[in-house]
Structure 1
């Protein structure tokens, strides 16, 4: 392979990145700019032109799929197997290292890797050994705590005892968990990286060996690295190894799971001898779509900066639809999809993206009514989600104590000290006596078949179900469901889960109440709850499309990263939904929300729809939110308003209205969204929002110590920092 073969398929910026001879290289690869091609061609260049041995190159990716694709492309280019090369994920490479040096790492030769479910089971055993009440401290809360510490490179011995009860209990669990893993020779995913990092710290001669072996390290998706991954790479790179980091700070959207955008933002500081190459030519989207994406992301302040461009045509304008409510929004999307198919498009070419998992319910219902096959990408249908099935189990048990499946699901969720042995004993008693599990539980309590603790727990559960029934009597369907969900303890249980997972589950439970508000029973003379449960079961039974069936893709914005579709719908473009209400007043979280919007927009290749609802049943109540600031950021010339019947107007009345009301707000104040300012009383803060213009403009500022404040421009006298 010669120089021409390697460089001919590349544009000028890609060639600059591939041929760089600098000590270190940072490649800022915009969405759709061909970063995988650059990585593969750079490795080929190092091997074929710079004559580096394939075994002196370490290439790190974030997913097994990406690693497999990289190996396949390399073998195709080089014409030979790369099985001996170290190409893989962080966890895969760390595992390979530990298997080779298990003794130095202090592990048994055949150590066992725990997946997430195995890890949770071990956490449960630790709870039992310590006698910790899992109803007060949920298992998943401890699992999340342990994983977070490991991602930060912290063992239990690195954590100081705290007065805070939560920290104290979690530390106690972490200590016992580490001891259990050590006794059994078990390693979880976080441990792989942490142990590999410690191996090099504790064995400098081994570190020196690998630093001498790997003269070239290439890391993909660098913006997604967490603390321990970055420390692992930095330690291996040392002072001599050449490091190539490829990533996009504008697509750093995983801060909630430990990714640190600072790793890529500070790369030039940590590695002074670095050349930076920006890949800005986009091969995916039209000019209108890219202009919108650039306008949105340019509002962020903490970024290295780049602007996507394309040689593609202007393309269709971005369509903006203002719906009455979420049902109107879903109907509109379904109609657009049917039109797409009628004009020759494939359903698999279309994707519906949303910020919150709870949004999928109404969208799924509209697609089912329109008989449009769909598939939830990387997730489950609404009525198949764990928290929803748990809530439905309580509701089924309230109206029918003889529902054994509901009994088994609800009896220890949330956990209330009724273990597997007790449930198995109830199951056996029910079989032996040919009675239901509820009747078996009643019999076991009356006859004192269990220990006092187990008997008390079972009796408390039965009393709870009776109380839920009594509390719901006489209430309308939504209030019945809301009362049961709250009384069951499911909301509090999931609120205790840290991070986005717990919040998403709470929102899904609230969405179940919303579903009841729009439910129309077939028989008005009969109770609504049994009819609603029947309909939920039927909806759950409607299968998703088969893998080979032409189907629309539904997914969260987070799941969409790395994918592309000719037709994309971004649903729910409203304040408090997107950006999420929990992020709106936190500058760093708001910047990540904006990056998420950028990711969503750049998934679209040919056509992009933005939809929002004037009113929406949200978090169990009807809300009226303004259109998302991310829509306001887009210049009006790139947007057309889609009206009822999908008639359009350009330039749009809505776009003009939003341009005057929102986009230009604050432009004559001398200040900008995201700007840091100082106030003589409240101190330093960040501008979050504007209302109006000129001296009478109101400015929302999130102050470091005083919190969020709305101030009038003429009186506030804010000083830019």
Structure 2
């Protein structure tokens, strides 16, 4: 086990120890018990809530009592927004006598919708029948129900793997499989639909645009011929349905009160649905936090909250400032951090959470030391009985930035749940191609490694493998790839490229792993990726480069190719064993997840890794030019504002990460990242009053 001299400190590196710790004020302790006098007509309702242990604070009571007209409820992290949504629903039914069936409550996840329904059902004044009558649904569930009522019977193509396979088949049929990747085509199609556009309206001015449109329309025709929709189709067709004045009028009359959770996450189509449904009565309550807008890549627009009172000039605005989750020092760090964003609604959270400890900071030498140090600390805390594994969450900015930490978990045999990508770093398709070249350098007859090496040679994978297997059965070779040099389907320059690749593979075995990877990147791989799928926007290309740089960092720890491959294979085996043992029930396990995945969750102990410049904020937000995705989702903004917006979204990510912690928050900032010096994140320094020039 790697020994380090790293220690957790009270201040980030570069901040004088005399600097006061950020801290929020304590929240007032008065609740509905004191604030709602028994003589007030609606006091019976608040007494009923109190019997169930629901003691609302002043701003929450205001939001619950709101009657007609638009209402923006700014619900900061951990400020009880779900409680308010459920309590206001109950208030409308029990006090204002609104029929439960006229209330529509829309959220983003089935879990959130179920939780709100359960809370409504627990309110003593609400009958079981009334609780069931409330329409608490996701956007997709609500839309699908309307479409079914309107006679639409399409099946929902929900499985991503199936859609991916369909797109691969279409690419092969249209002879575009070596130019485009199914995942980027599907992502581009989804982005187009969520901007409110139909596939038939895709641009077709250039040859490239025409080819992309042909592929995507072929995919749409495949679905249509089999009577199938994907999730994006549900929202598009729902929006189209709401363009029918008669149908819209019926729905507006049916749902006279509408509430929307996580309003800052609405994309263009969802926002349009909300406006149409509420236009007749304008009894619209939206709940959200502009400081937690972190999904711009999915079309979420912070302006939905920032401009709410411009769209609805008579709107009531209520802020829920009391945080029930975090220690005042943890919340203080988050608050001091986010105040440096310019495009936000000013708000000051106060703490009512249980007392914990102030955040602790460390600056390990690199990500390898960081991973070892963090896991040493976690294991020690568990050994001392201060925490269980299930109390711990480890948050990271990107999937690739968890590579070293994941390896430590596997090598130590510590149970964990990994959200999102459930493969070992070395088994990801981008990385596997280079790893398979290394495998062939050790064993040129390794059949499992052939297929991923064909792509960078611009040889169709399926056809190329069939030819190799056929020729090997006839005449086995020490280097089976040599058969391709005599394949009449390849042009002379492709055959020459195969010879060059075989010479390179022979050479790799004598190099140190890091040099072997650098050589492959220099000679062909980076060029192959750069010249590949034209739909891979800047952000995705930068992410790919990040992952390849991370591979170099991992390889630098080993002296031989054999050692490196053995290490990768051991991790794959351990990961498979861990998954098999888990069998759907993680039990006492650490949670490993990106900050994006952690939104809406809370944990007793949070370890935020990678809080360094270039990681958080990510390198893509530190460039003078913004990504194509940012331009597409904020087309109305000039470039200079987009640059600032990209950095502000990174700051919101840091805020979300910090405010997931209830009792303990540990933050590590590696001093080196991918072989280069890295300073602690500017977000941490700013929170202590040190502005990065």
Shorter-chain TM range is 0.7 to 0.9
1:420 Cα deviation from its structure 2 partner: 4.1
Counterpart pick for 1:587 among 622, 644, 649: 644
Q: What's the Cα RMSD here?
A: 3.1
Report the counterpart of residue 38 of structure 2 in structure 1. none
Give the 5 Å matches for 1:211-250.
211-250=252-291
Residue-pair matches, total = 614
Counterpart pick for 1:97 among 146, 159, 162: 146
Report the counterpart of residue 700 of structure 1 in structure 2. none
C-alpha distance in 2 between matches for 1:500 and 1:549: 36
C-alpha distance in 2 between matches for 1:313 and 1:91: 37
Counterpart pick for 1:28 among 56, 74, 85: 74
Counterpart pick for 1:629 among 658, 682, 689: 682
The structure-2 alpha-carbon separation of the partners of 1:111 and 1:539, relative to structure 1 and needing over 3 Å to count, comes to closer
Report if the CA contact (8 A) 1:354-1:557 is conserved: yes
Report the counterpart of residue 19 of structure 1 in structure 2. 65
Per-residue CA deviation, residues 512-546 of structure 1 (Å, 9 max, x unaligned), is 12111112x5xxxxxx1122111110012223473
C-alpha distance in 1 between matches for 2:665 and 2:156: 47
Is 1:518 aligned to 2:560, yes or no? no
The structure-2 alpha-carbon separation of the partners of 1:22 and 1:407, relative to structure 1 and needing over 3 Å to count, comes to same
C-alpha distance in 2 between matches for 1:576 and 1:588: 16
C-alpha distance in 2 between matches for 1:516 and 1:208: 63
Consecutive unaligned residues in structure 1, runs of 5 or more: 104-108, 522-527, 636-662, 666-688, 691-721
- State TM-score, norm by structure 1: 0.78
C-alpha distance in 1 between matches for 2:156 and 2:414: 44
Counterpart pick for 2:128 among 73, 80, 84: 80
Per-residue CA deviation, residues 618-672 of structure 1 (Å, 9 max, x unaligned), is 2xxx11122211111223xxxxxxxxxxxxxxxxxxxxxxxxxxx345xxxxxxx
Report if the CA contact (8 A) 1:252-1:261 is conserved: yes
1:32 Cα deviation from its structure 2 partner: 0.6
The structure-2 alpha-carbon separation of the partners of 1:83 and 1:593, relative to structure 1 and needing over 3 Å to count, comes to same
Higher relative CO (Cα under 8 Å, sequence separation at least 6) belongs to 2
Per-residue CA deviation, residues 171-224 of structure 1 (Å, 9 max, x unaligned), is 3433444344333322122111111101221x2211111111111111111111
C-alpha distance in 2 between matches for 1:348 and 1:557: 17
Report the counterpart of residue 308 of structure 2 in structure 1. 267
Is 1:42 aligned to 2:93, yes or no? no
Per-residue CA deviation, residues 336-383 of structure 1 (Å, 9 max, x unaligned), is 212311331112111221213222122233444555433323333423
Residues 359-368 or 261-270, more deviating: 359-368
Counterpart pick for 1:55 among 101, 123, 133: 101
1:458 Cα deviation from its structure 2 partner: 9.6
Counterpart pick for 2:400 among 355, 358, 370: 358
The structure-2 alpha-carbon separation of the partners of 1:327 and 1:114, relative to structure 1 and needing over 3 Å to count, comes to closer
C-alpha distance in 1 between matches for 2:508 and 2:550: 19
Residues 556-565 or 490-499, more deviating: 490-499
Q: SS in structure 2 opposite 1:582?
A: helix
Is 1:481 aligned to 2:538, yes or no? no
Give the 5 Å matches for 1:664-679.
664-665=690-691
Report the counterpart of residue 197 of structure 2 in structure 1. 154
- State TM-score, norm by structure 2: 0.81
C-alpha distance in 2 between matches for 1:117 and 1:220: 29
The structure-2 alpha-carbon separation of the partners of 1:183 and 1:607, relative to structure 1 and needing over 3 Å to count, comes to same
1:138 Cα deviation from its structure 2 partner: 3.0
Q: SS in structure 1 opposite 2:114?
A: helix
Per-residue CA deviation, residues 422-474 of structure 1 (Å, 9 max, x unaligned), is 646766786x76969975x766985x7xxx54899996885464144156364
Report if the CA contact (8 A) 1:491-1:509 is conserved: no
C-alpha distance in 1 between matches for 2:478 and 2:464: 11
The structure-2 alpha-carbon separation of the partners of 1:498 and 1:370, relative to structure 1 and needing over 3 Å to count, comes to same
Counterpart pick for 1:333 among 374, 384, 389: 374
Counterpart pick for 2:614 among 576, 579, 583: 576
C-alpha distance in 1 between matches for 2:45 and 2:247: 36
C-alpha distance in 1 between matches for 2:587 and 2:438: 35
C-alpha distance in 1 between matches for 2:61 and 2:400: 44
Is 1:533 aligned to 2:562, yes or no? no
Report if the CA contact (8 A) 2:618-2:650 is conserved: yes
1:504 Cα deviation from its structure 2 partner: 3.3
Residues 459-468 or 5-14, more deviating: 459-468
Report the counterpart of residue 604 of structure 2 in structure 1. 566
Report the counterpart of residue 169 of structure 1 in structure 2. 211
C-alpha distance in 1 between matches for 2:327 and 2:685: 20
Report the counterpart of residue 34 of structure 2 in structure 1. none
C-alpha distance in 2 between matches for 1:565 and 1:261: 26
The structure-2 alpha-carbon separation of the partners of 1:460 and 1:59, relative to structure 1 and needing over 3 Å to count, comes to farther
Q: SS in structure 1 opposite 2:363?
A: strand
1:574 Cα deviation from its structure 2 partner: 1.4
Per-residue CA deviation, residues 278-322 of structure 1 (Å, 9 max, x unaligned), is 111111111111111110000111111211111346642221212
C-alpha distance in 2 between matches for 1:375 and 1:458: 44
Structure with greater strand share of residues: 1
